[in-house]
Structure 1
């Protein structure tokens, strides 16, 4: 279900998929239910404390994950009231997709350097640093309303362009 919520590939790690989809891992949800079951009195305060404890454990697991790219605080991310995720946003949040560092790690290409500026190309570099996307970044930073839709559209535009450019680069090599 989590894969479908965030349109992720099945090769993506479970911890990344669950965080992006906003679904508490089964082992933590089961532990939460068990602890609530053994409590003599369950009220809103007990539930709130239990929820905070679950998020704390989830955050500790996430902090040790290799997939911690653009989402740093699990509770903030999963509690947000805006912003659906889609295939393109999931690629950025997970670091999977047309990022040369990722493609290099899975041995699809010989190095992980950006095709536009020769820095290591990962999601953070592409979104925040790469000069190829400077105009789009500047336009986003100058606006505050409807920012999520614009960020998502920008991520989509980048992935589509990078796929096209990678195909062209591969065609030149062949």
Structure 2
């Protein structure tokens, strides 16, 4: 069986697995994990799970928004990226970022901070797109069964 997803993360961490497991600093956060895994508010991921019609980057219009695109290229995050590069250096490949994170607590914190800032903004933009009543149905925020039952019981509009 060939793994299609997660290969990017595995290839970046595996060569440094002993250092990763033995590190004395840094903890994984939800948003840091999204950038490391590519599973989050990235056009490619949202398209792959059927919530977008394309993998388009809403930040810059690039045809494919990925975690690596967000980390390394997208002009929407250039200011945050400048701060990150000042702390960890120019190598923003995932293996380079992992090496920097393992190298010092300061670098780990800089990467985690970048992820928190950028992904929280991307999430807010995602919620706006989901809330747009003119958005295609697959894009709109889905209302769960419990919320529908609650709304029906109290006659709230959905």
TM-score using structure 1 length: 0.58
1:108 to 2:108 alignment: no
For residues 129 and 92 of structure 1, the distance between their equivalents in structure 2, rounded to whole angstroms, comes to: 14
1:130 to 58, 74, 82: 74
2:122 to 162, 165, 168: 162
CA contact (8 A) 2:38 2:66 kept: yes
Q: Which runs of 5+ in 2 are unaligned?
A: 89-103, 136-158
For residues 115 and 52 of structure 2, the distance between their equivalents in structure 1, rounded to whole angstroms, comes to: 22
For residues 54 and 109 of structure 2, the distance between their equivalents in structure 1, rounded to whole angstroms, comes to: 32
- CA gap 1:78/1:164 in 2 versus in 1, 3 angstroms: farther
1:69 to 2:8 alignment: yes
Q: Which runs of 5+ in 1 are unaligned?
A: 1-60
Aligned pair count? 113
- CA gap 1:110/1:160 in 2 versus in 1, 3 angstroms: same
For residues 78 and 107 of structure 1, the distance between their equivalents in structure 2, rounded to whole angstroms, comes to: 36
For residues 65 and 111 of structure 1, the distance between their equivalents in structure 2, rounded to whole angstroms, comes to: 19
Q: Which has the larger radius of gyration?
A: 1
Aligned-CA RMSD value? 2.3
CA contact (8 A) 1:104 1:111 kept: yes
For residues 37 and 84 of structure 2, the distance between their equivalents in structure 1, rounded to whole angstroms, comes to: 21
For residues 57 and 30 of structure 2, the distance between their equivalents in structure 1, rounded to whole angstroms, comes to: 21
Q: List per-residue Cα deviations over 1:100-134 (Å, max 9, x = no partner).
A: 11010111111110001111111000111000111
For residues 6 and 85 of structure 2, the distance between their equivalents in structure 1, rounded to whole angstroms, comes to: 26
Q: List per-residue Cα deviations over 1:132-168 (Å, max 9, x = no partner).
A: 1111111121235712101101101111111101111
For residues 34 and 46 of structure 2, the distance between their equivalents in structure 1, rounded to whole angstroms, comes to: 12
